[in-house]
Amino acid sequence: MKKGIKILMGVMLIIVLTLNMTGCAGLTRMGKSIGSDLTGGLNRVVTVYDQNGNVLQTYEGKIDIEDTDYGNKILFDLNGKRIVIYNSTVIVEEK
C-alpha cells in the first residue's frame, strides 16, 4: 500500500510541476536548447566584434553553440568546420 501511495504522490507532483511551468519562459528556453541539441543547431547569426566595436567576422547558418565554463571562449560547428573564438565580444542572434 505504501508503494502505491508513493507512486501516486510522484505522479501528482509531476502533473503539478508540469502545469505550473506551462507557458514559463524557462521552459520555452529549455525546449529550444533541447531542439538545438537534437537537430544540430538553430538558424543563427553570430557576429564577432573587436575591442573598438568593429565587426571582425559574421557567421550565418544552422549553428549549435557549446557552453564553456570560463566564458572567454565561444565554440560552434558550421558547415562541418569547428569554429572557436577566444576573448572577443560575440553576439548570437536567432533568425
Q: Are 52 and 68 members of one domain?
A: yes
CB 93 within 8 A of CB 75: no
Give the closest residue to 92 by CA, choosing from 63, 53, 50.
63
Count of the separate structural domains present in the chain: 2
Same domain (yes/no): 85, 55: yes
Question: Which pLDDT score is estimated for 58?
Answer: 97
Q: Are residues 51 and 77 in the same domain?
A: yes
- Using 50, 70 and 90 to split pLDDT, how confident is the model at 15? confident
Mean pLDDT calculated for residue range 85-89: 89
d(CA 73, CA 64): 14
Structural domain of residue 54, as residue ranges?
41-95
Q: Are residues 6 and 29 in the same domain?
A: yes
**Pair (46, 60) in one structural domain:** yes
DSSP SS3 for 68: coil
Question: Mean pLDDT over residues 51-80, rounded?
Answer: 87
79 with 58, same domain: the answer is yes
Element (H, E) at 34: helix 25-39
Q: In the block, which residue shows the cell 536548447?
A: 33
Contact 61, 79 (CB under 8 A): yes
Task: Say if residue 51 is in the same domain as residue 34.
Answer: no
Do residues 53 and 94 both lie within one domain?
Answer: yes
